[in-house]
């Protein structure tokens, strides 16, 4: 009897070693297709690379992230459509471009809304940004947090822009968004919406005179090769949103989703810092590459703000009134806490 008990105990002890102790035991093998518009060396690309490293590390190598940079798989709107169909797994893009999915996302593109990146962080990481992210689920998209692209500035190949009147008549490529089209038409330009992958060629061939983007995008996209003048208009701040295909997300186990969420949270902190560190460096590089840089006076910035007020009012009215109120309340709360 004692011998049998000893055998039984041995079996139990032995079987204990057969119980999976690896935290990654429930993680299956997956390859996440992550498409985005900017170059790999841009802070957007750096954030994507960091996310990929974190996912592979946390999954013990079971989940790999394949990066498709520089618009290889199409422009932002095409990529969003591919996410909804489940043919691409994830992307990161300007949050305002999701206005076609949830109109309130367009509020992020209201001109001169934010005064700093840190102010924007507080708003998008808070209840306002989280509520908007959650509103994407019925559109077959999952929001995984917000990244930094920075303040948008104007470049062109024709003349220095030092005052409002200098914008008059310039053909400016803008995002494929009604707000941006109206914003630059209101400033006196001729707005030309184009997908980002087509932009360099359009500038090179002078199909458009200029464009508007954060300086990190201008530098890594080599626009200094085809643009002479840069003006620090800082007309819109772009938080970007990291999104996942809900069709794909729903096939993942809870442990796998948690792993991806944790990696996204860590990558967000890294990407924001990388983006802000890169901004000052990009300005110096553009200057060294021969771009003529113009800083607008406070008076001219005030004139731009006043000129585009009707745009702010129009697009704010198109969104849900309660959401607009929540946004401005969140901005004011953040400023009061400084």
How far is Cα 330 from Cα 111, in angstroms, rounded to an integer? 16
How much is the mean pLDDT over the chain? 92
Query: What are the pLDDT digits (tens) for 107-116?
Result: 999 999 999 9
pLDDT of residue 2: 43
Residue 22's pLDDT band, with cuts at 50, 70 and 90, is low
State yes or no: pLDDT of 134 exceeds 60: yes
State yes or no: pLDDT of 148 exceeds 90: yes
CA–chain centroid gap for 234, Å, is 17
Q: What is the largest CA-CA distance in the chain?
A: 100
Please compute the mean of the pLDDT values over residues 117-135 and round it to a whole number. 96
**Residue 188: strand, helix, or coil:** coil
How far is Cα 275 from Cα 187, in angstroms, rounded to an integer? 28
**Residue 89: strand, helix, or coil:** coil
Q: Which of 28, 2, 15, 3 is nearest to 255 (CA)?
A: 28
Residue 24's pLDDT band, with cuts at 50, 70 and 90, is low
Q: What is the CA radius of gyration of the chain?
A: 24
In sequence order, the β-bridge partners of residue 142 are: 244
State yes or no: pLDDT of 14 exceeds 80: no
- Looking from the CA of 160 toward its CB, the CA atoms found within 13 Å total 7
Query: What are the pLDDT digits (tens) for 226-250?
Result: 999 999 999 999 999 999 999 999 9
- Looking from the CA of 42 toward its CB, the CA atoms found within 13 Å total 24
Residue 61's pLDDT band, with cuts at 50, 70 and 90, is very high
How far is Cα 106 from Cα 285, in angstroms, rounded to an integer? 32
Please compute the mean of the pLDDT values over residues 290-305 and round it to a whole number. 96
pLDDT of residue 176: 87
One-character DSSP codes across 255-315:
HHHHHHHHHHHHHHHHHHHHHHHHHHHHHHHHHHTTPEEEEPPHHHHHHHHHHTHHHHHHH
Task: Name the more confident of 4 and 197.
Answer: 197
State yes or no: pLDDT of 9 exceeds 90: no
Q: Which of 145, 271, 293, 162 is nearest to 218 (CA)?
A: 293
CA–chain centroid gap for 73, Å, is 17
What is the separation, in whole angstroms, between the first and last Cα of the chain? 76
Phi, psi values for residue 45, rounded to 5°:
-65, -35
Neighbours of 300 (CB within 10 A): 19
Domains (range + CATH), the chain: 28-336 (3.40.190.170)
pLDDT of residue 23: 54
Please compute the mean of the pLDDT values over residues 298-324 and round it to a whole number. 95
Please compute the mean of the pLDDT values over residues 71-77 and round it to a whole number. 94
Parallel/antiparallel/unpaired status of strands 210-213 and 171-174 = parallel
Residue 4's pLDDT band, with cuts at 50, 70 and 90, is very low
Neighbours of 267 (CB within 10 A): 26
Pull the structure tokens for residue 151.
């303040």
């Amino acid at each position: 009897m004692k011998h049998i008990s000893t055998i039984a105990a041995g079996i139990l002890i032995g079987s204990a070693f057969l119980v999976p102790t690896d935290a990654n035991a429930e993680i299956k093998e997956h390859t996440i297709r992550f498409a985005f518009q900017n170059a790999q060396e841009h802070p957007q690309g750096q954030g994507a690379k960091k996310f990929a490293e974190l996912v592979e590390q946390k999954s013990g190598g079971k989940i790999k992230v394949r990066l498709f940079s520089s618009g290889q798989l199409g422009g932002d709107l095409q990529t969003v459509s591919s996410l909804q169909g489940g043919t691409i797994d994830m992307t990161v893009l300007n949050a305002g471009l999701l206005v076609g999915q949830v109109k309130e996302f367009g509020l992020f593109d209201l001109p001169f809304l934010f005064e700093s990146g840190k102010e924007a962080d507080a708003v998008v990481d808070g209840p306002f940004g989280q509520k908007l992210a959650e509103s994407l689920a019925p559109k077959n998209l999952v929001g995984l947090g917000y990244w930094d692209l920075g303040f948008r500035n104007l470049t062109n190949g024709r003349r220095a822009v030092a005052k409002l009147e200098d914008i008059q008549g310039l053909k400016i490529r803008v995002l494929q968004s009604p707000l941006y089209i109206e914003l630059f038409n209101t400033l006196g330009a001729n707005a030309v919406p184009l997908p980002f992958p087509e932009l360099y060629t359009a500038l090179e061939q002078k199909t458009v005179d200029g464009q508007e983007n954060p300086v990190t995008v201008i530098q890594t996209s080599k626009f200094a090769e085809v643009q002479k003048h840069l003006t620090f208009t800082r007309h819109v701040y772009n938080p970007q949103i990291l999104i996942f295909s809900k069709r794909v997300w729903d096939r993942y186990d809870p442990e796998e989703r948690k792993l991806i969420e944790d990696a996204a949270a860590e990558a967000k902190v890294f990407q924001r810092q990388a983006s802000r560190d890169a901004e000052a460096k990009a300005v110096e590089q553009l200057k060294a590459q021969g771009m003529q840089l113009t800083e607008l006076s406070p008076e001219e910035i005030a004139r731009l703000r006043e000129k585009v007020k009707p745009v702010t009012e129009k697009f704010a009215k198109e969104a849900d009134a309660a959401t607009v109120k929540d946004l401005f309340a969140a901005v004011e709360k953040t400023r009061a806490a400084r």
